[in-house]
Structure 1
Amino acid sequence: MLQLYNTLTRRKEVFKPLVPGKVRMYVCGPTVYNYIHIGNARSAIAFDTIRRYFEYRGYQVDYVMNFTDVDDKIIKAAQAEHVAPLDLAQRYIDAFMADTKAIGIQPATANPRASTMIPEIIAFIQALITKGFAYAVDGDVYYRVRKFPHYGELAHKNIDELEQGASQHTADAETARKEDPVDFALWKGAKPGEISWESPWGAGRPGWHIECSVMATTILGDTIDIHAGGQDLEFPHHTNEIAQSEAKTGKKFANYWLHNGFVTIGEDDQKMSKSLGNFITVHDILKTVEPMVLRFLMAGTQYRRPIRYSETGLQEAARNLEKLHNADTNAAYRLKDAQAGVDAAITQQVEDKKAQFIAAMDDDFNVQNGLAVVYDLAKLMNEYAAEKTVAADSLTLLRTTLSDWLAIFGVHFAASGLLDAQVDDLIKQRDAARAAKDFAKSDQIRDDLAQQGILLEDTPQGTRWRRK
């Protein structure tokens, strides 16, 4: 029985989809003004893993992840580079798609962009004004927070405390225009030179929070199964999404709220973020780290827990991947002399381990316990492959089960049969052969790699390689 930890209720709940066999899932994507850092990647990997597990369990998943391409940060970055905001956003959307593809993120069912849904956003805001939940002033539109009775419940925030915090900014020009300091912007009047669209309240652009409400409900419906994102989005972003959406539709916005933990860095486990300036981009990491290793490091921690990013963690992930790859290689090798048929004892052990794996993953996607079962399966594969007599169908069952489970974690073994670490080792052997002037061996290694889809390029800085 699959259980999810619902941030709204602060407890695990049995998952009951709106439509049997289907999952409607919305994940808050990046604000595209820079390359994504590994904190962003952690969220993408966590919810991609969850999506994959739903699919493993037989669900059809409508998976929507948006791009925020209209935002103050984008405008500021575009102005600094003297480019159009949407052009800058497109550059980093392209980079996001390339980086996430490299780390095995499945394409979303839809990737809506705020800039393409301006008419829907304007209509949504107008509906809130008509219902009395919003008001226009001097070209801006604000949401009346106190009119929504459940405001702050997701993040367990007290509205009076919010007012006290907001009152510290009473001199701010925007705050002075609001009816209440806690009200938030739905539409922002355009400043000179900024990107804008015409609206009933004058030229302007949407606020951040309204964008996701509109994209989620337009594509997935007024009520969705799962809304997900990083812990930092609980307040104010997701809190405001609930207020806007439920005020407009009169229906519950999302039945389950999932939030992933942060990525930390350094001895003091400081949260990684662009605002703190301590971030590492995936774009840069992938220049030196095998994508599958980064993916396995991130996917190997239960989504609500924090992850410490470190070289030690990457090395451990690489070693564990190598062990799993070796187990699969050993089983594949024994297929050469396997007897036809099935080993009933192996079939029973695999069924037992499947039950253990599902029990672990059904418990709010407890990947640590799930991976413990994966490693047990790899041990069984090694032991069975070492036996004098083996059954072909049982070897295939073991390999297929391992492959199915690793696919949930976004892991697959390269078509060449070689992990990056193995390629690097062969290149070192080739370099040693060249240094010893054993050119026959050097050429043989190069040819062998080429046959497996690995192309080498000798440069003054050393040997580089890529897969075909």
Structure 2
Amino acid sequence: MAPIVVHNSLKPGAPVPFVPKDEGKVSWYACGPTTYDLSHLGHARNYVSTDIIRRVLMHHFGFKVNFVMNYTDIDDKIIIKARRNRLLELEKDKPYSPEQIRGLVFKTFVAYADSNLPLLLSAGDAAGLDENNYQERKETAYGHVLAGGTLSGEGKPSDPEAKVKMHLNNMDSAAQSLKAGSSFEGAEEILLPYLDSLYKETLDTSDQTIFTNLTQAMERAFRDDMEALNVLPPDAVTRVTEYVPRIVTFVEQVIKKGFAYEASGSVYFDIAAFEKAGNTYARLRPESKNDKSLQEEGEGSLSKTLEGKKRSGDFALWKRSKPGEPCWPSPWGAGRPGWHIECSVMASDKLGDQMDIHSGGIDLAFPHHDNELAQSEAYFHECDKGEHTWVKYFLHMGHLSILGSKMSKSLKNFQTIQDALATTYTSRNMRIVFLMGRWNDGVEISPDMRKQADNWETTLDNFFTNIKAKLSEAAGMLTDGVKDLSLAATKGGLFEELKQAKTDVDAALRNSFDTFTAMQIILRLVRDANIHMNDRAAEPNLQAVEAVARWVTKIVGVFGLDAGAAPPYEGLGWTSASSAAAANVDPQTAVKPYATVFSKVKGEVEAFGLSDTSVQTLLEQQAPESEFTELEKAGERDTERLALPFIRATSRLRDELRAIVSSATPLEPKTKQAVLALSDRIRDYDLTDLGVQLDDQTDKPSLVKFVPAAKLIAAREEKAALLAEKARQKEEARKAREKADEEKWAKAKVTAQDLFRSDAKYQEWDTQGLPTKLADGNAVPKSQLKKLTKEWEKQKKLHEEYLTKFGPGA
């Protein structure tokens, strides 16, 4: 059997063999969210892709995974967001007059433009900008960026252009606020940084609720998002604020080993000392080692004024807290942890001096993960023993981009997970999009990618629905079906294709969890199974198709595509929402809607008083209640299976009604109309509203399919809307024809001799009514007279039609 290989950021290039330190076990630390805002689709990409790999390791390869994730509940972004929220609340409580509010908003409007959008301001004319000339200045200064160009005029748009658009959006809202009147509403984004610059040092940050109110709310929202996306919860969760004393101890140890130094109340990692001791810095991204912009971003926007660094690349392990920032006691004075040290301490506490996997988004590789590695390996460093390996495999999820820029909270070019699930995606559909790419590649969600994902899901939906219906038709749903999926090659045909698909999917997942290839293999197999199942030239082997369906069910379960399923995923098809909801419901209660429909339909059929013996036999012999009772006694709790006796009984009655209408025995017109109406209602309303679709078949009972009721109802409403639109268009066409006829005969009523006599362009006519002189006294030109003669002849013929249709004197 081939080994598992994985792309490891510590060893760029081809995938390397995956060999955990303990056989059969995997220790894994994942960088969790910074809890200062709602999570967006970029986070979904990271955490869903991480979840897929975790599930594959656990449920396909059989590893026991210890998965640890952190919540960063204090850092520069959290401090700024929480502090600004509090300052805005305080500002709104001040007794400002309307004029004062407008003056403050206008002042911040100009200041924001000066800081972030300098091209809006003419040289030395900052005071000239206002809400009235803003749009004109925006188009002049940044119209090329808004149209898809770049600031420099070269290359493709990226983060700088996205940032400009973000600032312009903030200015747009503020301009509207100024035009609307004296209110802070709409101007918050430009007002917040201004208030922070004025009052940040006045807040009493010993009141930690300023920060915890925000982080706890965002942590709850993140957990809800992950549950909605069917992401497995971590085995252990850590929070920075719960680890501050251990962070202090960790930093002390790094100082003691000579790899950090204190300066002005802060502690910095000494990269030079680390490298001098034989260690390697920036192992993940050596090319970014001296990138000052990334170094500054890694330190945080509140840390630009920290003093005492020996070298610009040295990074903070502990930061001296300034007024307006939270703080904890330490040997170096009141301060707070640096960003990178948090994960080092928490991961080491939970997983020891070495872990198998560390993961996160690719944007964290430098400086965050490189700094994590350095300070952790410094902590565990032992002289004369070489470099310490803190992480064996670093997995970086490719980021999600939009219009060429990384989806980012800081750029405000994101769609939240909550909004995406409410308007654009289902959890399953979003996961399919990510499965159809490779986890370590960047993703830009395009219409084509969405279409491929939709088609993949629809293909499987239909396959599961159809095989269940076929098995039900053959009474196979009431058996255990094919349980043994270790099929012999000698069975050939679809069985052989299944065997090959199993081998190919396993090989794809062993190749760095290549779900893109696995998804294509599954799709091909399902399409082949559909062809086999629907082959009219040969009797399909439903056992083979069922075997395919059960194996596909298992794999999509492993991938996390069925939120209602649980390992070892031995069912058939998607777990029905109704069955999942009814799992703990009394069977009698669960099937009551289906039993009610049958009872209602039976009563209506009896009321017809039909003499047909087949109908009377069905009415007398059908006993769905008995079938249901036997299933209930056998311990069946699946709502669909329990409801099947009532659905089949209802469907059979409908089939007989349809047969009677089509038979040679005539029915009274009124009865026939009522029977047809009932037949349609059973199919289109009674059963549709319960999530049951009936497919009519020639010379066979209708095929019973379970389809989500919402989907069937939507299709019914769409069909009704199309029919209504068709009827509307037909009626409009009828009215247009009537109008055209009215206009035609109104014109036809006029004789050819009178056609031109009322036209002021002419003053003389011949005996037939053809113009001879124009209004100015000139003779009608020959070319014009030729045209008028044709019109005269046409009118003569039209008037003759009129006389024929309506008669003289009409």
**Which of the five TM-score ranges fits, normalised by the shorter chain?**
0.7 to 0.9
Contact map agreement 2:294 2:366 (CA 8 A) in 1: no
Q: Which amino acid aligns with 1:78?
A: A
SS in 2 for 1:181: coil
Match of 1:10? Answer: 12
What's the CA shift for 1:166? 7.0
Q: Given residue 211 of structure 2, which amino acid in structure 1 is its aligned partner?
A: P
Candidates 438, 454, 457, aligned match of 1:318? 454
The residue type paired with residue 273 of structure 1 is S
Q: Indicate if the aligned counterparts of 1:140 and 1:201 stay in contact, CA closer than 8 A.
A: yes
Q: Distance in 1 between matches of 2:294 and 2:508?
A: 42
The residue type equivalent to 2:507 in the other structure is: A
Q: CA deviation at 1:313?
A: 3.1
1:142 matched to 2:268? yes
Take 1:164 and 1:37, find their aligned partners in 2: how far apart are those partners? 24
Equivalent residues of 1:338, 1:391 under 8 A apart? no
Q: Work out whether 1:264 is the aligned partner of 2:401.
A: yes
Rounded Cα–Cα distance in structure 1 between residues aligned with 2:243 and 2:462: 49
Q: Deviations over 1:253-304 (max 9, x none)?
A: 11111112121212xx222112222111111111112221112112221011
1:76 and 2:71 are equivalent in the alignment: no
8 A contact 1:265–1:310 mirrored in 2 = no
Residue matched to 2:392:
255
- Runs (5+) with no aligned partner, structure 1: 419-437, 457-461, 463-468
CA–CA separation in structure 1 for the residues paired with 2:687 and 2:500:
43
Which residue of 546, 556, 563 corresponds with 1:406?
556
Residue in 2 aligned with 1:429? none
1:448 matched to 2:690? yes
**Does residue 355 of structure 1 match 2:503?**
yes
| Alignment partner of 1:61 is 2:65 | yes
CA distance 1:324–1:166, change in 2 (3 Å): closer
Question: Partners of 1:247 and 1:352 in 2: how far apart?
Answer: 49
Mark the CA change 1:235 to 1:295 in structure 2 (over 3 Å): closer, same or farther.
same
Q: Check if 1:27 corresponds to 2:26.
A: no
Distance 1:392 1:220 in 2: 49
Q: Measure how far apart 1:390 and its partner are.
A: 5.4
More RCO (CA 8 Å, sep 6+):
1
Deviation of the 1:399 alpha carbon? 2.2
Aligned to 1:156: 286
Q: In 2, distance between residues paired with 1:408 and 1:277?
A: 34
* Structure 2 letter corresponding to 1:329: T
Aligned Cα root-mean-square deviation (Å): 3.1
List per-residue Cα deviations over 1:385-404 (Å, max 9, x = no partner).
33565566544432221112
- CA shift for structure 1 position 50: 0.8
Higher strand share: 1
Separation in 1, partners of 2:293, 2:541: 71
3-state SS in 2 of match to 1:228: strand
Distance in 2, matches of 1:389 and 1:212, equals: 61
Task: Name the structure 2 match of 1:295.
Answer: 431
How many Å separate the matches in 1 of 2:710 and 2:515?
35
Equivalents in 2 of 1:355, 1:232: separation in Å? 35
Cα distance, 1:65–1:108 mapped onto 2, change above 3 Å: same
Using the TM superposition, give the Cα deviation of residue 445 of structure 1 relative to its aligned residue in structure 2, in angstroms.
6.7
Distance 1:235 1:399 in 2: 44
Distance across 1 between alignment mates of 2:80 and 2:294: 26
Q: Percent identity?
A: 34
8 Å contact 2:247–2:341 — kept in the other structure? yes
- Which residue of 234, 256, 259 maps to 1:133? 259
1:94-141, Cα deviation, whole Å (9 max, x unpaired): 111111111121111122111111122111111111111112222211
The question of 1:182 aligning with 2:343 is answered no
Runs of 5+ unmatched residues, structure 2 = 87-208, 382-387, 563-573, 580-679, 693-705, 712-716, 718-810
Match of 1:285 among 417, 420, 424: 420
More displaced stretch, 206-215 vs 191-200: 191-200
Q: CA deviation at 1:209?
A: 0.2
Amino acid at match of 1:157: E
After superposing the two structures, state which structure 1 stretch, 111-120 or 338-347, moved more: 338-347
Match of 1:375? 523
What is the CA deviation profile of residues 426-449 of structure 1, one whole-angstrom value per residue up to 9, with x for unaligned ones?
Answer: xxxxxxxxxxxx999997478425
Count of residues in Structure 1 that have an aligned counterpart in Structure 2: 434
With 439-448 and 19-28 compared, the bigger mean Cα shift is at 439-448
Amino acid at match of 1:327: F
Matched, 1:92 2:218: yes
Contact persistence 1:104–1:295 (CA under 8 A): no
Indicate the larger mover: 308-317 or 179-188.
308-317
Q: Say which structure is richer in helix.
A: 2
Q: C-alpha distance in 1, partners of 2:513/2:546?
A: 27
Pair 1:95–1:454, CA change in 2 (3 A): farther
Residue 463 of structure 2: which of 319, 327, 334 is its match? Answer: 327
Structure 1 Cα separation of the partners of residues 32 and 395 of structure 2: 14
Cα pair distance change 1:445/1:71, threshold 3 Å: farther
State the AA in 2 paired with 1:254. V
Report what 2:167 is aligned to.
Answer: none
Change in CA separation of 1:362 and 1:317 when aligned onto 2, cut-off 3 Å: same
